Amino acid sequence: MTESSAREAGKAKETGMEKRLSVIIPCYRVERYLRRCLDSLLAQTLTGVEMVCVNDGSPDGCPAILREYADRYGDRIVVIDQENQGVWKARKRGIEAATGEYIGFLDPDDFVRPDYARRLYETAKAQDADIACCGFDRMDEETGKRYSREMTGFPREAFDLRQEPGLALEVNPALWNKIYRAELIRNMPEISWIPRVLDDLVFLELILLNARQIAFVPESLILYTVRRDSIISSLKPEDIPGVYTAMKELRAMTAREQPGLLTMLDAAAFLHLRISLMHRVSASGQAALKKALRENRIFLDAEFPGWRRNPYIRLSYVLSHRGANRKLYTAHVIYDLGLARPFLAVYGWMIDRLGVCIKW
């Protein structure tokens, strides 16, 4: 934390100044986008928003930009400097410093609409929600073209995760289009293995272990930048075992602490390991995909046995829940027919050639 931020944070505590929402921003090699992100948060229509910016040992101009904003805007921005430890630990460091009633996360290459904080906060308060989610646009970094608009399109009712765990499959795994009750985040269980990819998924599933009410703002409030050099665009063969290790540990933890969520987690494993992870592998070629799909099936059968005949991705569930999980049900049928490889090939072609990305 810079000296000026520390002074102002101390004044805020002394005067009882209320922070409604803390937005944690891990910063590493993002000087090109950082000002746009910070300016969008400074323009929020909700009062009581603080930005907790964690400089994760960034070697570029990020530290200087953060110091500039901290000096200019006082207690609205808290800056923490640490050696490079990765986004997971940067977020955890930010949680320790956050003082808001709710906590959100934002990647510094993304930015938000002026009513982002107000809409999410008011929805969370009105629904007494542990988590409030909003829609977002996926935008091409170079052209500004909108690839897709996610988590919008029809009214989504708030639900109790313990009563309707299957509806959690309709919630995207990103951390940054949600705000969370602060104590929920602070009580998140620890995990011993942090994966390089799908870390947002693991982080969110850990949060869900203690969550109940989930509410929605079915409008796009975030502009998500699709970068060619982002970690989500790359996958190395050595990354896959780490994902499996983390997911195995997550399932064991769920079995101990919230066994009622196990069936949902098995379905989520199909969605995120069998579809999303294998889609990334497919970029390496069909030979690599064939081997990865075989190993993936063996892993899921052993560790997530409920993925094959899961009640939350049956047609009866889709019909009885107003179309929830319909895309996931369709993908499951395709996989049952043995068409995983051609399906992933078409999916990749749609993204690469048409700029269309169907999110599950």
Model pLDDT, residue 9: 45
Specify the pairing of strand 102-105 against strand 159-160: unpaired
Structure confidence at residue 196 as a pLDDT band (50, 70, 90) = very high
Phi then psi for residue 35, to 5 deg, are -60, -40
Start-end of H helices in 140-261 = 182-186, 199-208, 239-257
Phi, psi of 162 (to 5 degrees): -70, -30
Cβ proximity of 23 and 53 under 8 Å: no
Measured in whole angstroms, the distance separating CA 104 from the mean position of its chain's CA atoms is 10
Q: How confident is the model at residue 176 (pLDDT cuts 50, 70, 90)?
A: very high
Domain 1-108, what fold? Spore Coat Polysaccharide Biosynthesis Protein SpsA; Chain A (3.90.550)
pLDDT at residue 104 tops 50? yes
pTM: 0.91
Cα–Cα dist 354/350, whole Å: 5
Q: Rounded to the nearest 5°, which phi and psi values hold at 28?
A: -155, 115
Spans of all domains in the chain = 1-108, 234-354
**How many other β-carbons are positioned within 10 Å of the β-carbon of residue 330?**
16
pLDDT digits (tens, 9 = 90+) for 29-69: 999 999 999 999 999 999 999 999 999 999 999 999 999 99
Given pLDDT bands bounded at 50, 70 and 90, which one contains residue 144? confident
Distance CA 102, CA 46 (A): 13
Sign of CA dihedral 131, 242, 227, 100: positive
Per the CB < 8 A criterion, the answer to whether 279 and 348 are in contact is yes
pLDDT for 325: 95
Q: Looking at the predicted structure, is the pLDDT value of residue 233 above 60?
A: no
- What is the 3-state secondary structure of 270-339? HHHHHHHHHHHHHCCCHHHHHHHHHHHHHHHHHHCHHHCCCHHHCHHHHHHCCCCCHHHHHHHHHHHCCC
Is residue 295 very low, low, confident or very high in pLDDT (cuts 50, 70, 90)?
Answer: very high
Q: Which residue has the higher pLDDT, 3 or 258?
A: 258
The predicted pLDDT at position 235 comes to 80
Beta-bridged to residue 112, according to DSSP, are 222
DSSP state at residue 234: -
- Report percent pLDDT > 70 for the chain: 89
Any residues with CB less than 8 A from the CB of 82 and at least 6 apart, and which? 54, 55, 56, 57, 89, 90, 93
Q: CA dist 339 to 75, 290, 328, Å?
A: 55, 12, 15
Mean pLDDT in the chain? 90
